[in-house]
Each structure stands twice: as C-alpha cells, then as structure tokens.
Chains A and B, each alone.
Chain A
C-alpha cells in the first residue's frame, strides 16, 4: 500500500519550474491540454527525492537547487553556434540535425545530407498546427507517465524534431541529433523529439548533448522512438563537454514492432550529473533489444542508468550490458527492471552491470529487478562491483609493463568490451580515443 507522502513545501527550484510554465506558457506552442495535464502531475509530485523508488539513488530534489532559466532561441549568433558545434562532432558522414538551446535550427542542420526517404520537421510547428499523428505519438505508449522528469519535459518542451523514416528505407547515412547549449550563465532547455521508423526501414541514429563551453547547463531531453515491424535502429546517445555543475536528464521512450531490432548504447565520458532513463517496450514478436552503456566518472560526477524493459509479447530477446569506471568520489547508479508479462512466453532476457572502483570515495548502486509473470522464460541478471585485479597487474608488470600502463591496459580492456556493442566503426573509434584521453588524464593527475 502506498502511503500518501507528507505534505511538504515546494523547493525554490520547484517554484521556479512552475513559474516557468506559467510565464512561458504563451511561448509554448501547441499541445496545451497535454502540457497542462503534465504540469498538474508535476505540481502534485514535485521533484523526485530518495523516497521515490526509481529516483532513490539520484535525489534530484536536492541536486537541482536552482532551476536555471530557459533562453530564447536566437540568444547565440549563428557563427558562434557553428564553432560550438564542432566540439560535438563525432561522425563526419552523418546528417546533422541541430537544436540550439532547445529550439530546432534548420539553418545549423545539414538538411541537404538527409538520406532519401527521411524527413525532418519541427516539433513545435507540428504541435502548433495540431498534427494529430505527432500528438498521438508524443507520449509513446504512456511509459514513464508518472515520472516527474517526463512530466516536466511534456509541460515545458520548447521544440524538437520529428524524424520520419519511410517504410522499407535503408537510410544511407546516419542521422545525428545534436542538442547544443549556448553556455555562459546557467540555463536550461526542454527538448522532445520523435523518431518514427517505418516497417522494414533501417536507421542509424546518434544523439549528442553538448554545451559550447563548460557551463552549468540543465538539459531535459526526451526521445520517443517508434520502431516498425522488421525495422532496425542502431542508436547511440552521448554527453560531451559540460560543466561540473551541469545536470543532464534524458528519457528514451521506445517501442519495438514485430521482428525488429533495436541496439542502443549510451556513452558518458564524465559530466556533472547525468540520468539516462530508458523505457523500452517490446511490442511485436521476435524482436530483439540490446542496450549498453559505458560511464567514465571522476571527481564528484554522478551517472545513473535506469531501465524499464517491458516484454509485452512472447518470443522476444533482450540484453542489457552496462559498465562503469568510477574514480575519486564519483557515483554510479544502475537500475534495471525487466518486466515479462503473463503471456510473454519464451522471453529470453539477460542483464548485466559491472563497475570498477578506482577511488576510495567512489560508490556504485546496483538495483536489478525482474518481474516475471510468464512461466516459460529464461531471464537472468548479474551485477559486479570490484577493483582492478592485483594478480593481473602483477602479471603484466612481470613482463616489464609499468604499473600505471598495466592499469590503463586493464581499464581500456574493460571499457572496450562495452564499446564493442557499438556497430558504427567511426563512433566506436572516437569513443575508444576518448576513453584513452580519459585514462591519460587520470595518469597525469
């Protein structure tokens, strides 16, 4: 039985977020009923604290002390924005779609590179026009509806893109969505994007969250991903270059059609506070889900991966594999819930989270959960938290390899085993390079 929470006073940040809605509502285009209902939910819930089970290890109420203001879309001149974008570059061959401070910017995007069969439109325009399809798809299948961060995103979404991949289209080049913050004084953005992949289509999708400088940005992004029957999506999300006080909240709401395949990976080479929540529903038989992630944390950085994988139909397969390297006083969180509904027989699920602790003050919180209502399934989970193996280090040293190099070799190997899940070679190579840079910075410290 859920006891009602005791009445509490609103924090300064909560007041500011509610005020943002009230004052900005004239600028928030379309979907007014949806927004109002979401804001009402947020007013009721407030920011989640440790008493909310799914936020137990990431107490957003105490982390988000001040809610930063949202900026107008033309705050940063185009030329400076272009320079800032260079830092978010990882794939030279992708068609880039840019959001600057939460607003879709066709002028900064490579629309000419869009592969045939792929269209991009502004979410705000679609909502203002009352696009019924967009409105209907926007909340996925109601996953995460109770989540306060999703409510905030729905209430305050400024803009985003709607990407449509026509049925049967194999997109010739990857699509790279970049959510760029102009930086400087602390500021916030609320972005919602919708990617609809038609039956039998193939898409490689990258999503980058970055700031033009190391400022204290607060980004709340949500991506709704609808994958048609027999379609395949390879998706990589990553955060780059943000300040120590930055807060990055990202929600993925994905549904998979029959016979489809979704490979998702998130790479976090260290930002202030990062929460990635992934709600994935396997909606059609014989679909395959692979989720992976790698977080490299130091200082007081905090990375949280929270998954809800919902096997709604029989004969599907899911794999989750997340790794963390935690130095100094950083904190890792892995919460993975796999739900197998009563009729979802022959489900094959395996979940694994592994962390290496380098710092004495580092901590790792693991919470794997299986909720299985079907009786003919194979599901398992495993979580390990450990240190580098002294015996392995001795073995490498006994061959003449200096200790710091031996440690780096082992950490690289640990990281690579996760990065191997990324199909795109250019991205994988870039992340391997970044991992090397991260390790080198550790050695230099």
Chain B
C-alpha cells in the first residue's frame, strides 16, 4: 500500500526528514510514535501534498505509484486521506456543502457518478449518527465554533464518507477526553479493512489501547529508529524517548 523510500525533506535550510524508510502493507495499522519535533507531522503533510516542503530525495509510493508529482487534490483522489491534527475552520461554508463538494469531486475524479441528494443525505446521516454528531452541526459552517472533540469527530466522518485507501491520523487523540477518544477510535476501527491501511501518528500509548496497531515505529531525528509490534508502544511508555534521541544522535 504505502512505501516511503529514502525520503529527505527540508523546510528552508532546515532538514526535517533524513532518509526515512517505511512500509505499510494492505490492511495494516501502523503506528508512528516519537518525541516532539522529530518530523511526524511533516511526514503526514508531505504524503498528503502540502506546499512548502522541499523533497530533495526519495519516493512515496501508493500502490506502486509515486505520488510526489501529484498535487494534494490528485493524491486525495488516489485514496490518500489525512485526518488533520488541527482541522481548518472554514467560515461561510456549510459542513454539508463541503461534504457534498468533496464526495462529488472524488466521484468525478474516479469517473463515477455524483450522488443524488437524497442518497447523499442518507449516507451522511447514517455515518454521523455512528459518530454521535448531531444533525444541526452539519448545517453550521465547517469546524467554526466546534470543540476540539467535535472537530476530530468531523475528520473521522469525512474519512468514513470518502473511504480512502490510506488514512493518516495525525495526533487524532490530542485534545480529546476519554469519551470522545472512544467514539473516534470506534469510528476508526469500524473502517479497518483488508483494502485500507492506516498510519496512526501519536505521542502517547493511550490511543493505541483503543486502536490496536499491527506495527509500531519509533521516529527520531527524521528517520524510523525502531520498528516492532504493539509491545513496543508499552515499552516506550515506561522508558520514554530519551534513548532514541540519543541513539540517533
């Protein structure tokens, strides 16, 4: 599904990713953990296609296709989804209008048909109920005045509707209380499937108690410093990241 090969990324003069290699198989849930400032969010933005990052070397393959030449729209249409750490507020754009624009754009890009309004409404209603998103929230401007938990649930709703091949969750647990965390994790778990892979970026073990990863990668100094199974996350909870920061240096 996802293969990152020898990825070097800079922002201005600052090197952030330094020869990162990572493979996520079909249906796999891979967690990336690591200290602040080690390039986790950069990795997610570079995969999603945000401007302002200078890829000096390496490749990012999704299903064998290098996506680095695509713009963010094309990557989304190729099945890449980023659940933002800080979802953007879009004043004046009703959430429903936005969801429809996104679903239709992806349907068009894949040569499919746009959804009829009643079908669209039904689909959104069902998906939002599962995430305990009240209907009146969907009429409000996207993310404007939403709480942190509401914004994260809205990200998962979009993921559920868009059905991506590769979902990157960038610190989806930040700013969530236990109840919201459970709702979000349930939403993610419901989408786990053989044809869908997840890259779950987090600081803490806690999220991984709810979304059980198949693999855990520790990132430090712009690279993957260690890879293991779920037990690695528990180990980190005890030992912290100090060892890795030291090792990579």
Residues of A in contact with B (beta carbons under 8 Å apart): 389-392, 394-403, 405-406, 409-410, 412-414, 416-417
B90 interface hit (Cβ, 8 Å): yes
Q: How far is the CA of A417 from the CA of B81 in the complex (A)?
A: 29
Q: What's the minimum C-beta distance from B80 to chain A, rounded to whole angstroms?
A: 8
| Contact (Cβ within 8 A) A400 B109 | yes
B92 interface hit (Cβ, 8 Å): yes
Cβ-defined partner of A400 (8 Å) among B51, B76, B84, B91:
B76
| Contact (Cβ within 8 A) B90 A397 | no
| Contact (Cβ within 8 A) B77 A400 | yes
| Contact (Cβ within 8 A) B93 A413 | yes
Q: A399-B76, A400-B77, A409-B93 are in contact. Are A391 and B88 (CB under 8 A)?
A: yes
Which of B49, B73, B101, B106 has the most chain A CB atoms closer than 10 A to its own CB?
Answer: B73
| Contact (Cβ within 8 A) A397 B101 | no
| Contact (Cβ within 8 A) B92 A390 | no
Contact with A along B164-204 (1 / 0, CB 8 A): 00000000000000000000000000000000000000000
| Contact (Cβ within 8 A) B88 A413 | no
Q: How far is the CA of A398 from the CA of B98 in the complex (A)?
A: 12
Residues of B within 8 A of A395 (CB): 84, 87-88, 90
22 A-B pairs with C-beta separation under 8 A:
A391-B88, A392-B90, A394-B51, A395-B90, A396-B101, A396-B102, A398-B84, A399-B101, A399-B102, A399-B105, A400-B77, A400-B102, A403-B73, A405-B105, A409-B93, A410-B93, A412-B92, A413-B90, A413-B91, A413-B141, A414-B92, A416-B92
Q: How far is the CA of A417 from the CA of B94 in the complex (A)?
A: 11
| Contact (Cβ within 8 A) A402 B73 | yes
Contact with A along B137-168 (1 / 0, CB 8 A): 00001000000000000000010001000000
| Contact (Cβ within 8 A) A397 B72 | yes
B214 interface hit (Cβ, 8 Å): no
Q: Which of B56-88 contact A (CB under 8 A)?
A: 71-73, 75-77, 81-82, 84, 87-88
B48 interface hit (Cβ, 8 Å): yes
Q: How far is the CA of A158 from the CA of B93 in the complex (A)?
A: 46
Residues of A within 8 A of B106 (CB): 399-400
Residues of B within 8 A of A400 (CB): 73, 76-77, 102, 105-106, 109, 162
Number of interface residues of B (CB under 8 A): 29
B50 interface hit (Cβ, 8 Å): yes
Residues of A within 8 A of B158 (CB): 399
| Contact (Cβ within 8 A) B88 A392 | yes
| Contact (Cβ within 8 A) B101 A409 | yes
Q: What's the minimum C-beta distance from B204 to chain A, rounded to whole angstroms?
A: 25
Give me 20 other A-B pairs in contact (C-beta within 8 A), A396-B101, A398-B82 excluded: A394-B50, A395-B84, A396-B90, A396-B102, A398-B72, A398-B81, A398-B84, A400-B106, A400-B109, A401-B73, A402-B73, A402-B105, A409-B101, A412-B92, A412-B93, A413-B91, A413-B141, A414-B92, A416-B92, A417-B92
| Contact (Cβ within 8 A) B76 A397 | yes
Q: What's the minimum C-beta distance from A374 to chain B, rounded to whole angstroms?
A: 33
Residues of B within 8 A of A394 (CB): 50-51, 72
Residues of B within 8 A of A402 (CB): 73, 105
Residues of B within 8 A of A412 (CB): 92-93
Q: How far is the CA of A406 from the CA of B75 in the complex (A)?
A: 15
Residues of A within 8 A of B81 (CB): 398
Q: How far is the CA of A305 from the CA of B73 in the complex (A)?
A: 38
Which of A401, A403, A414 has the most chain B CB atoms closer than 10 A to its own CB?
Answer: A401
| Contact (Cβ within 8 A) B76 A413 | no
Q: How far is the CA of A403 from the CA of B98 in the complex (A)?
A: 14
Residues of A within 8 A of B87 (CB): 395
Q: What's the minimum C-beta distance from B11 to chain A, rounded to whole angstroms?
A: 14
Contact with A along B201-224 (1 / 0, CB 8 A): 000000000000000000000000
Q: What's the minimum C-beta distance from B96 to chain A, rounded to whole angstroms?
A: 13
Q: How far is the CA of A410 from the CA of B87 in the complex (A)?
A: 16
Q: What's the minimum C-beta distance from B32 to chain A, rounded to whole angstroms?
A: 19
Residues of B within 8 A of A403 (CB): 71, 73
Q: How far is the CA of A391 from the CA of B87 in the complex (A)?
A: 10
Residues of B within 8 A of A392 (CB): 88, 90
Cβ-defined partner of A397 (8 Å) among B71, B93, B98, B162:
B71
Residues of A within 8 A of B97 (CB): 409
Q: How far is the CA of A414 from the CA of B90 in the complex (A)?
A: 10
| Contact (Cβ within 8 A) A413 B92 | yes
Residues of B within 8 A of A409 (CB): 93, 97-98, 101
| Contact (Cβ within 8 A) B102 A401 | yes
| Contact (Cβ within 8 A) A390 B73 | no
Which of chain A's residues has its CB closest to B78's CB?
Answer: A400
Residues of B within 8 A of A414 (CB): 92
Which of chain B's residues has its CB closest to A420's CB?
Answer: B92
Q: What's the minimum C-beta distance from B171 to chain A, rounded to whole angstroms?
A: 16
